[in-house]
Amino acid sequence: MPGCRPLQAGSALWFDARSGPELLRCAAHDGTVASPLGNDAVSDRDEVQVARWSAIKGRVGASLRELRQGDACGSGSTRSQARLAGELEELGYHVTQSMVSRYEQGLLDAPLTLERMVGWALCCEALSSHAFRDLLALAGYYLPWNQADLVAFDDLLRSYRRLSLADQIVVRGRLLWHILGIEASDPRDGVGESG
């Protein structure tokens, strides 16, 4: 989508669909896309991101809490904040149990990155294609999947949940990179093809 700023490590609100398979696209609430920014506009972009995060952090936190607690699907499978923090650590994100709690309450001012939001969702038993699409839409991302794609994602999640815990960890990492449109080329990173 022309005009979107490429997603960079630590960026919270920008994604360039041209950098990978067109899975995610950024969009403003008024339907326009973010305009490209030069180096002199970094502070403006930061202010916009902080203002945007301030407006949505409570709703995003509540949505993430529902996913973690299993409320969205009535699974009754509550994942503790500590376990979620550990699973995010396995994905390579330093998130403490305290941070999980504060994000869920909408108390942290630091924007939750797209990568962490997707990783968080993938760690939750209550994740479904519709809950995933709704969470991303809440954060300003468009998931251009049709009904068949949503059904296929739900089938994948059911298959994934039947795997052993060790296999789930590997698949979760690969799925995270695939959804973000990142191609792993180094087999040592845990998500690329080995041998």
For residue 52, pLDDT beyond 80: yes
Q: How confident is the model at residue 74 (pLDDT cuts 50, 70, 90)?
A: low
Average pLDDT, rounded, for the chain: 75
Higher pLDDT, 168 or 187: 168
* Predicted model pTM: 0.70
Q: What is the four-CA torsion angle of 105, 177, 89, 5, rounded to 10 degrees? A: -50
pLDDT digits 0-9 by tens, 79-95: 899 999 999 999 989 98
The reported pLDDT for the residue numbered 20 is 34
Q: What is the four-CA torsion angle of 95, 97, 119, 59, rounded to 10 degrees? A: -110
For residue 13, pLDDT beyond 50: no
Q: How confident is the model at residue 10 (pLDDT cuts 50, 70, 90)?
A: very low
**Phi and psi (nearest 5°) for 26?**
-85, 150
Written as six digits, the tokens of 107 are: 């108390």
Nearest to 113 by CA among 55, 174, 33, 49: 49
What are the sequence ranges of the domains in the chain?
17-189
Measured CA to CA, the distance from residue 75 to residue 128 in angstroms comes to 12
For residue 2, pLDDT beyond 50: no
For residue 11, pLDDT beyond 50: no
Higher pLDDT, 20 or 59: 59
Q: How many CB atoms lie within 10 A of CB 141?
A: 19
